[in-house]
Structure 1
Amino acid sequence: MRLAWSHAFVVVAGLLLVGCASEPTRIVPGTTAAETLQRLGAPTGRYPLNGGGERLQYSRMPAGFEVIDIDVDASGRVVSVTQVLNEARFGHDIKVGQWRQNEVVAFYGRPYEISRVSSFDGTVWTWRYKAVNERRMLYIYIDPTGVVRRYHTGDDLEFDRIRD
């Protein structure tokens, strides 16, 4: 009986370690890009960075609430790991009037949804995120020339519609 319990413990501990190893936020600066890719698998996006580096992006869209950007320098080492769907960062990160849609994708990944509204000539890109465990939405308005014109956040009412 004792052998069975210890075997079960080893199996469960191994599964927990595998789960932790595949979590992008557990990658630490200094890790090589090759080791990162081995631990996490293929990213959902890869984008060149100024200075010869690369961004490995791991998005949990459309069902999830996180996009993790792992920036790798020209020498192939991780320099930063950032969960970018963070309400406290939006005002600093989003470059209204400067970003083009390719820069939005390189930072936030593919959106949860792209839609149109009558009050804006362009498209509205939407991402789901959580703020203190509340389901929220980030809306970025992109004009017909591909430039970000504004953004705002709001409550995610999709879950409420499903529950009713």
Structure 2
Amino acid sequence: MLRLLAAALPLLLAACASVQPGMTREQVLASWGQPTRSVALPDGQRLQYSQQPSGQRVFMVDVDAGGQVRSVRQVMNRSDFARIATDGSWMRADVEREFGPAPDNERVSSWDGPILTYRWREGMIDLYYWVYLDSAGVVRRAHEGVDWRNMRHTIN
């Protein structure tokens, strides 16, 4: 398994490096293909490239109205998740614009609305990030947790 990861790492890094600010939207599409989802922004468009549900990365490529790439970033990380507001100002659409659609929408008896579940990785630890919505789709709670399913692989 480690050999497979070691072989895949250069390809992943090359893919990340292949799309950079200043490129055109067409160059992005030629390099990475069609996005998982495209979202309109006030001054352009966001191309979302998600590796969810199996993968743990989601890349956002922001393109301005002229078709030039402004930024490229991987958003499945602690600092980006920290931007999620639980004060009632964020809705489901805000979460999906910033992180892409969640691969899982769960429900539990102790919460009245859906729970969006994202998978991500910090160092060698597989994690979940849960975003709790009320029945109107307003974000009310959010937190991370460990994905224990793969911990035995990390420890060995």
- How many Å separate the matches in 2 of 1:49 and 1:84? 17
- How many Å separate the matches in 1 of 2:127 and 2:13? 28
- The counterpart of 1:37, out of the listed 4, 29, 32, is 29
TM-score of the aligned structures, taking structure 2 as reference length: 0.83
- The counterpart of 1:100, out of the listed 74, 91, 94, is 91
Over the aligned positions, Cα root-mean-square deviation in angstroms equals 2.3
- How many Å separate the matches in 2 of 1:41 and 1:114? 27
After the TM superposition, which residues 2-151 of structure 1 pair with which residues of structure 2 at under 5 Å, given as runs?
19=11, 23-24=15-16, 26-51=18-43, 53-91=44-82, 93-96=83-86, 97-151=88-142
Identity of aligned residues (%): 37
- How many Å separate the matches in 1 of 2:27 and 2:21? 12
Query: SS of the residue aligned with 2:150?
Result: helix
- How many Å separate the matches in 1 of 2:19 and 2:73? 10
- How many Å separate the matches in 1 of 2:73 and 2:132? 23
Q: Deviations over 1:127-153 (max 9, x none)?
A: 000011210000000111011111000
Deviation at 1:112, TM superposition (A): 2.6
Residue 158 of structure 1 is matched in structure 2 by: 149
Structure with higher Rg: it is 1
Unmatched segments (≥5 aa) in structure 1 = 1-15
Q: Which runs of 4+ in 1 moved over 4 A?
A: 19-22
- Number of residue-to-residue matches in the alignment: 144
Deviation at 1:24, TM superposition (A): 4.1
- How many Å separate the matches in 2 of 1:60 and 1:28? 19
Q: Contact 1:21–1:40 (CA<8 Å) still a contact in 2?
A: no
- How many Å separate the matches in 2 of 1:161 and 1:20? 25
